[in-house]
Amino acid sequence: MVFTAGAALLDAVVLSVVSREGSYGYKITQDVRKIMDVSESTLYPVLRRLQKDGYLETYDMEYQGRNRRYYKITANGMILLDRSRRDWLEFRKSVDEILMGGAND
């Protein structure tokens, strides 16, 4: 079974992936796809929006004769990620209480 993830969860996952190591778009896509079904055409607008909103910054580096755009989380991005992690724990606890009948207290 696949659960649909909202924009806030996708943002949190992207920020988490980028926070581990600055990364480029294709690698970010592959890492996100390990836990949710997302296409590159969905992910790149998310990356651009997070950059526009000041949560990510980019830099270009040459790789095999071509420029590759890398993403790095900003201080504001880390603040949002920390808040998202706290919100996730609360959400997960609430869902577990309903789905598991309080078994995971």
Using the predicted structure, report yes or no on whether residue 81 has a pLDDT greater than 90.
yes
The residue type of 31 is: D
Helices marked H in 1-105: 7-20, 25-33, 40-52, 75-99
pLDDT range class, residue 70, cuts 50, 70, 90: very high
In this structure, what token pair is assigned to residue 45? 């607008």
Q: Mean pLDDT for the chain?
A: 89
State which H helix or E strand residue 39 sits in.
Answer: none
For residue 21, the model assigns a pLDDT of: 75
Element (H, E) at 71: strand 66-73
As a whole number of angstroms, the distance between CA 3 and CA 51 comes to: 27
Decide if pLDDT at 44 tops 60: yes
pLDDT-based confidence at residue 38 (cuts at 50, 70, 90): confident
